[in-house]
Structure 1
Amino acid sequence: MSDRATFTPYDQPTGGWGSVKSLVKHSTEQKALSTLPALVRDHNKTGGYMCTSCAWAKPGKPHMAEFCENGAKATFWDLTSNRTGPEFFARHTVSELLGWSDFDLENQGRLTHPMRYDRATDKYVEVSWDAAFADIGARLQSYTPESVVFYMSGRASLETSFMYQLLARLYGNNNLPDSSNMCHETTSVALPQSIGTPVGTVLLEHFAHTDCILSFGQNVGTNAPRLLHSLQEVRERDVPIVVFNPLRERGWESFISPQRVGQMLTNSPTQIATQYYQPRAGGDIAVMMGMAKALFAFDDESKRAGCERVLDVDFIEAHTHGFDEFEQQVRGTDWHEIAQAAGLTRGALEEAALTYANARSVIAIYGMGLTQHRLGVDNVQMLINLLLMRGNIGRPGAGICPVRGHSNVQGQRTVGISEKAELVPLDAMAERYQFAPPRKDGLNTVEACEEILNGKISGFIGLGGNFVRAVPETELMEAAWRGLDLSVQVATKLNRSHLVTGHASYILPTLVRPEIDVQASGPQIVTIEDSTTCIHASHGVHKPASEHLLSEPQIVARLAMAALKANPKVPWSEWAGNYALVRDEIAAIFPGDFVNFNNRLNVPGGFPRQIPARERVWETDTGKANFKLPRALHASFDAGDEPDVLRLMTLRSNDQFNTTIYGMADRLRGIHASRMVLMINANDRQRLGIAKDASVRLCAAVDDGIARSVDGLQLIDYDIPEGTLAGYYPECNALIPLWQFADESKTPAAKSVPVKIEAS
């Protein structure tokens, strides 16, 4: 791979032949061509397996090929013919592997055997499952419960998640941080305060009835490409789509569906965004404040003219609380301050507001561009305020739609993966399993990192993910991690977290979702929840990568049996042999959402959870939907008053899913051959006196006694607002202080990090 990136703006649509070529390339590189028939036949289809990539909805009437480019990459990555077995580890020391890139580590292929780190040789060596569980169990028994963290990434099934949270609580803590802490925890805090639910209100069917879509801080082309099919159908009804995003992402600009032969042959794309605005990173509160201010002005004009009101005054009166205070704040905020904070003109914000005002039923989509800021909660609640002004919650074609990342990260929370004791039905668990659940809140991701840095954590169990690479404060975290007594990583591929070892470190390899999972009662089914709260069954269809793999429920059960005292009310072995029994337990503890669970597994399109806000039932402190007042016009830790301080937003590439790097091609942004790049507005570069394509050092603009920097970043002139930079995640994580997180939710503030550029 080249050390220098090349940049040629990509002028082709999302999807189309570019996606087809990528599919062929990645299936060939992973020696996974044989998986293509099942990809078409079974992927995201009733009776088949659910994608392990994004969490977007699965339609009841699927397309012929119900997968996207990134979903296909994830599947080829999972079903690769490459293997990382004991012979690989015999050839390479851990010290050597620490110098490898994220791509090169995972590209070695599927893990095949349980492995234990041997400090004397600095290598991982094969270990039997029995020996691994015996040692892990003995160590867990020796620790105080508060000193162990049970982390979970977002791909595990509902069945695994339920068993895992019960394992942690029977062990004696609520230390259940998960990947949601790093992305949409802000949503889980903001939405309950505003509308009484921690999840979105939109179902896939609502897109057929919407009159307008607003999108904030979400890159559909990379993060949820199958959503483009619904957006394409929306545009074919001439419905406006208004997008706010600092970068002009190709997914929001144009799209060719590979499902449509005519479009493919003529290369005739569908325009997706009808209005595209590029606010400065951290400026979304000001954007929405300006739109609200314009709506009040439009409403004033309508009243004077005796016309139909712009505001839904009946809805506001019957269903909301706090409107008067909100109106006073909006009317009292100066237009100049709004435009300056937003990085957009008053005219642009009024134009967007007019489109919104002319639509009856509006869906608001958002992603981590809203959640990962100091005032991320204010961002999300300000978007809810906009919807409430016109009654756009609780009717067909309208609602709030957070787009989640991992395929079951939302579902894990539904069945108890939460560090917050009040959010989990502990009384029901106590009665059913005859134990005293811990009532003290556990550690979220940031708090777990703090305790690791303070030397207070003895053991870490990671069910999936790449924790050390995914979290902020990279250098300090890696150093502190080596002080752990126990690090256990349940995984499918080798990653950096496995190589930053504790005193005892284990890699426990597991099945992937598309693989057949045969247990005592026969082939098993697992379930997941998508972003729209619909529950789907997943049936494995491929032969496992190795006969030495265990399923995630088996691993959780055997950990529990090794570490916990026997409890006749919790038959771990029986559950691991028949996942239908686990679903019965889920239905017993969470009856509202999972009544008759086992008989509803294969409902086309999944069965939806009951979300009260969809029916305009508000489970809030006031019994109504609440207008919440934002605390500032910008959401960043950067006050915006130092000209040499810029705001960095970290991004995923087109060849990436979270910390998994599929390749060095960020095709949709036109960046190839390297990820060590920094996108910058040419005016900022020239103002700072830096040459084009120069290599620079990026430093955190904080003064807390800790030096944080990333060296060797190549500047690329890019279409990005002045004052804003963009670089790749996780390479830029080292620049984010652990204490820079969203107020209330503690989500790392990775979308407007204050930084300075220095000569390299």
Structure 2
Amino acid sequence: MAKQKADDPEIKPFKGPAGGWGSIRSVAEILPRERVSPEAVRELARQNKPEGFACVSCAWAKPADHHPAEFCEEGAKATAWELTTLRTTPDFFAEHTLTELRSWRDYDLEQHGRLTHPMRYDAATDKYVAVSWEEAFVEIGAELRQLDPRSVVFYSSGRTSLEASYMYGLMARMFGNQNLPDSSNMCHESTSVGLKAAIGVPVGTTRLEDFEKCDAILFFGQNVGSNAPRMLHDLRSARKRGVEIITFNPLKERGLERFTDPQNPIEMATLKETAISTQYHQVKTGGDIAAMMGIAKFLVEWHDAAVASGAPPVLDLDFIKAHTHGFGDFVHAVNQVGWDEIEHESGLAKADLEAAARIYAKAKAVLAIYGMGLTQHVKGVENVRMLVNLLLLRGNVGKAGAGPTPVRGHSNVQGQRTVGITEKTELVPVDKLEEQYGFTAPREKGLDTIESCRGVIDGSVKAFVALGGNFLRAVPETAAMEAAWPGLRVSVQIATKLNRNHLFPGAVTYLLPCLGRIEEDVQATGPQVVSVEDSTSCIHGSRGKAKPASPNLLSEPAIVAGIARQILPPNPRVDWDGWVADYARIRDAIEETYPEVFKDYNARLFTPGGFWKGNKAAERIWQTPSKKAEFLTPTGLSATGFADADGRFRLMTIRSNDQFNTTIYGYHDRFRGVKGTRDVLFMHADDIARAGLAGGQIIALESDASDGKVRRREGLIVTPYDIPQGCLGAYYPECNVLMPVEHHAEESHVPAAKSVPVRIAA
């Protein structure tokens, strides 16, 4: 297939709702483009349903009482992308060098189709050549055994199943390290750190049923229409029963404005829309702490006035006294901050924050939904803790219809952490693993994503094994990372499709194709099933039935086992072959390691709606040092980690509704009215005028980091947009080149992609 060309760029406002006929047309367009078979189209009917398969894109909850079509536009694209009949065979690699392929766009690489054979990089020809699985495993094992285990990184993508993740983490620890970075390091590690410190658990406390019991929703920094569209059904139902939805987001995102349900014939026939947000506040990127502090300030002032006058209290004093610690210090900080500072840092007027506070003050049960608009800042952990502070003021944790609700991205990114994919010893029952498998587990902290990037750049990381994903494209510091990657001794990439990471080989490089989750996985004991955990801590079975893309594919568990057998000495307590033959045995092993979470794992695997792993904070049991929920006072009102200056902008990287993470499905960001290009810079009209620019002008951005290094992104089209002044928006991952490795969240090390200091280049 020849490299495809982008359409001529077209940028004009989109006036329709999220969902509706636009979603129908988008799905109808991608199915023939991927040459999806009628059998594969029928697979959509099984998506996210009991006894069906779990969507390979987002991790939103799968209801027990499901819709006729329990998939969204983005989920349908993900399914079509996996079940495409297009193929990337050894013949393709014989025709193209890696040097040539590096000139292709991300879209063209993946669009070429599913990988069909294990491949080894041949430096003499600069091409991949086909090899046998046995050859691959033997050489990978021989190479890794020669290295210091601490110099090897085992990365995993968030779509990897619980079964494969457990095996992968065990393999790494038995090999001698905990270098287990994953997708969570790139997005919601700020949640894991922030919530753990504040309420004693690293995940949200709510479930799908809480949408039916809340009477208000606070929504921060998450684009539901593009990143978790199935949630729109829950938001629509909440609005239909009068729930107030107060949104804080720098951009006006269509899914948070209005929605037409594609499964409602009346709405589709009449073009009827449901307004989602009852208030929409365009907070400056990095200004959420200030906005939440403003709401808290109103609550404290109203409470003091109510108490003085003998009126009912505004704050939940009984809850605060019985269940929290640090309230006095937090209230002191609230009283000290001034409104001028709050308005400046948030970009919002005092009256707007008062309107939001009034809704919150009268609500009895409030969900606080958020995404990477809170987590991906230098002060991302403080963002999360401030959100908890706001909830604690009125007892909105540990009761029906209330609590923090982080929206996780990839379909099993939360579940991976549950079964041991983490660089942190304290998050894994290492004593139990040692007892179970008879080895000495490493205790030293492993490398996270940022530390792995440092290691690749400085040469201390010698080998990188990737169980899925597109690490090199997803991380910051693109140019330096691409320049350093060939210095690796070993690069092993396990994938379903070709992506940019695969085009930067180390000395010894393998590209290993795996089965997709939707495909039938037949092992020695018959067809197998896997499992995933959704954003609400519910665990679901997933049964693939589609015909595999190639008879040469192995499953993720089989590939992990193939590598493990080569890099580890024989161990009678770990039957890698037996696990691959019967995945139920892997689940038995997981249950033995985590008996409280996975009790009766195999028996409960296909429980409609999933089985809940439990959450102590939801029971108001606080696993913190104080044994109470913690009010944690922020150190300042800005989450950016840098000061404003003349000519400096806050760049937030964003995703199109035609992509999922680094996978680009096409060049039509329908909701933002952008077609045929991703080289767009969204900018306030007044900022354009002040900079002496014009809409449609082509400019470059340069990083304004303090390290003095030049980081530049050329060819961006200046596009007037409704965005707060001083803020810019541009697409991820194309603008990751502007983000230094060291521009990350404190404590969690999440890349601070939502507020990058940049300047318009001269």
Q: Would you say same fold, with TM above 0.5?
A: yes
Alignment of 1:450-529 (within 5 A): 450-529=454-533
Alignment of 1:134-145 (within 5 A): 134-145=138-149
Shift of 1:643: 2.2
Instruction: For structure 2, list consecutive stretches of 5 or more residues without a partner in the other structure.
Output: none
Shift of 1:688: 1.0
2:550 is paired with a residue whose SS is coil
Distance 1:155 1:653 in 2: 20
TM-superposition CA deviations, 1:31-86 (whole Å, max 9, x none): 11524653443110111111001000000011000000000000000000100010
TM-superposition CA deviations, 1:555-604 (whole Å, max 9, x none): 00010001111101001010011000000000000111001111101110
| Among candidates 704, 707, 717, match of residue 704 of structure 1 | 707
8 Å CA contact 2:117–2:553 kept in 1: the answer is yes
Shift of 1:636: 0.5
1:591 is paired with a residue whose SS is coil
Distance 1:91 1:669 in 2: 38
8 Å CA contact 1:103–1:661 kept in 2: the answer is yes
Distance 2:277 2:471 in 1: 35
Q: 2:388 is matched with which residue?
A: 384
Q: 1:260 is matched with which residue?
A: 264
The one-letter code matched in structure 1 to 2:233 is H
Is residue 2:344 matched to residue 1:340?
Answer: yes
2:135 is paired with a residue whose SS is helix
Q: 1:581 is matched with which residue?
A: 585
Q: 1:692 is matched with which residue?
A: 695
Q: 1:163 is matched with which residue?
A: 167
TM-superposition CA deviations, 1:166-191 (whole Å, max 9, x none): 00001000000001100000001000
Shift of 1:458: 1.4
| Mean Cα deviation higher: 630-639 or 14-23 | 630-639
Distance 2:7 2:579 in 1: 50
Shift of 1:307: 2.1
Q: 1:674 is matched with which residue?
A: 677
Instruction: For structure 1, list consecutive stretches of 5 or more residues without a partner in the other structure.
Output: none
Q: 2:654 is matched with which residue?
A: 651
The one-letter code matched in structure 2 to 1:645 is R
Q: Residues 215 and 35 from structure 1, CA distance in 2 versus in 1: closer, same or farther, beyond 3 angstroms?
A: farther
Alignment of 1:300-699 (within 5 A): 300-640=304-644, 642-699=645-702
Q: 2:721 is matched with which residue?
A: 718
Q: Residues 727 and 4 from structure 1, CA distance in 2 versus in 1: closer, same or farther, beyond 3 angstroms?
A: farther
Q: 2:203 is matched with which residue?
A: 199
Q: Residues 722 and 4 from structure 1, CA distance in 2 versus in 1: closer, same or farther, beyond 3 angstroms?
A: farther
TM-superposition CA deviations, 1:289-317 (whole Å, max 9, x none): 00000111221232233222110000000
Distance 1:194 1:39 in 2: 42
TM-superposition CA deviations, 1:395-428 (whole Å, max 9, x none): 1110110000000000000000000011100000
> What RMSD in Å do the two structures reach over aligned CA positions?
0.9
Q: 2:48 is matched with which residue?
A: 44
Distance 1:592 1:38 in 2: 37
Distance 1:692 1:660 in 2: 28
The one-letter code matched in structure 2 to 1:295 is L
TM-score normalized by the length of structure 1: 0.99
Alignment of 1:52-201 (within 5 A): 52-201=56-205
Residue-pair matches, total: 758
Distance 1:602 1:380 in 2: 33
1:698 is paired with a residue whose SS is strand
8 Å CA contact 1:184–1:368 kept in 2: the answer is yes
Distance 1:495 1:657 in 2: 13
2:614 is paired with a residue whose SS is coil
8 Å CA contact 1:638–1:752 kept in 2: the answer is no
Q: 1:738 is matched with which residue?
A: 741
Q: Residues 491 and 679 from structure 1, CA distance in 2 versus in 1: closer, same or farther, beyond 3 angstroms?
A: same
1:731 is paired with a residue whose SS is coil
8 Å CA contact 1:741–1:748 kept in 2: the answer is yes
8 Å CA contact 2:6–2:667 kept in 1: the answer is no
1:549 is paired with a residue whose SS is coil
8 Å CA contact 1:201–1:400 kept in 2: the answer is yes
8 Å CA contact 1:5–1:714 kept in 2: the answer is no
8 Å CA contact 1:461–1:487 kept in 2: the answer is yes
1:268 is paired with a residue whose SS is coil
Alignment of 1:274-289 (within 5 A): 274-289=278-293
Distance 1:702 1:385 in 2: 31
2:217 is paired with a residue whose SS is strand
Structure 1 segments (4+ residues) deviating >6 Å? none
TM-superposition CA deviations, 1:622-655 (whole Å, max 9, x none): 1000000101100003312x12000000011010
8 Å CA contact 2:43–2:546 kept in 1: the answer is no
Shift of 1:2: 4.6
8 Å CA contact 2:40–2:83 kept in 1: the answer is no
